[in-house]
Amino acid sequence: MKTFKILSALIFLGILSSQAQDTRDIRVHDPVVAKEGDTYYLFNTGKGIGVYSSKDLKDWKPEPSVFTEKPAWTDSVVPNFKNHIWAPDIIKKDSTWYLYYSVSAFAKNTSAIGVATNKTLNPKDPDYKWTDQGIVIRSIPNRDMWNAIDPNVIYDKEGTPWMAFGSFWNGLKMVKLSEELTQIAEPQEWYTIASRKRSFGIPSEDPGDAALEAPFIFKKGNWYYQFLSWDLCCRAEKSTYKVVVGRSKQVTGPYVDKDGKSLNEGGGTLLLQGNKNWYGAGHNSVYNFDGKDYMFFHAYDANDKGAPKLGIKEVKWKNGWPSVEPMNEQIK
């Protein structure tokens, strides 16, 4: 009887409940994914950076957050920072994982991108420990007309690491990283990789109305594809987020859309958008896992109020351009 009561209590608390451990409808912002061994790890915006794991990209189990306490330097960028860390990115170099993340004051370019490292993504591994490496890049109002959030790191065909990033202001940027992946390379190389025309001037403390953010660069064949999000995120049923794409033979651009229009001049071929069932589909990442290309993103469920949910779609290719199935009643 005593054993039965203990078991019942554990189930009630969710410790042994499959519903609490595994779910298809996980709520995330800004998902990025890595695979280690036979397990996928999903990182997302949230307190200390949220983490989920899965064996099949369908059932997801919550894992410990990356940071139990905010990195020590964050208050110097955003005073009284609340440990709500935005838009991570994950990449592996040799035997080390590098997790990039954003610290920002909402709707301001008072922002910075930091990086933490780990030898493994498995919390049960004895070597599991996230070590913060500090600031990689920082944007400051009245100095910078770009916003240091939404990082994405890619190696070009010569093996050089680059970071794409940005949100609103005068566009999305790309900068060369050092071989250590923890700072900007010297001498510095900067590029604008996407921009939209603002309808008014460019005061440095105002993000403006040229809404674009979250670049993600994916190499396929001889092309680099830049996926990015247009319009407004994080407004539930008022979200107008959508994913567009352009491509370039060089990682630094110029990127052009299917019609040949430069992404630096407002170009972008529409790839995914919401509908009456799903609002604000965007902030995507793209990977090849086991021979298939997948796009991960978030979107608001019109029939289930609350935070957005994880979306996963297989990416198909035709004449050198990606496509995904339109949004329907199911997000996957």
Which residues are the active-site residues?
A: 30, 213
Rounded CA-CA distance 322/18 in Å is 36
DSSP SS3 for 289: strand
φ, ψ for residue 182, nearest 5 deg: -115, 0
Rounded CA-CA distance 98/143 in Å is 28
DSSP SS3 for 46: strand
Residue carrying the six token digits 């001498």 = 187
For CA atoms 139, 199, 172, 288, the dihedral sign is positive
Rounded CA-CA distance 179/224 in Å is 21
Rounded CA-CA distance 212/189 in Å is 22
Torsion of CA 176, 178, 183, 188, to 10 degrees: -40
Residue carrying the six token digits 């790309």 = 174
Contacts with 196 (C-beta within 8 Å, 6 or more apart), sequence order: 171, 210, 211, 212, 230, 266
Q: Is 226 exposed, middle or buried (0-12, 13-18, 19+ CB in 10 A)?
A: buried
Give the Å distances, CA to CA, from 269 to 4, 199, 221, 222: 58, 21, 19, 19
- The residues that bridge with 218 in the sheet, in sequence order, are 225
Q: Is 236 left (phi over 0), alpha (psi -120 to 50) or beta?
A: left
Please report, as a single letter, which amino acid is at residue 255: Y
Query: In this structure, what DSSP letter does residue 143 have?
Result: T
Rounded CA-CA distance 233/319 in Å is 30
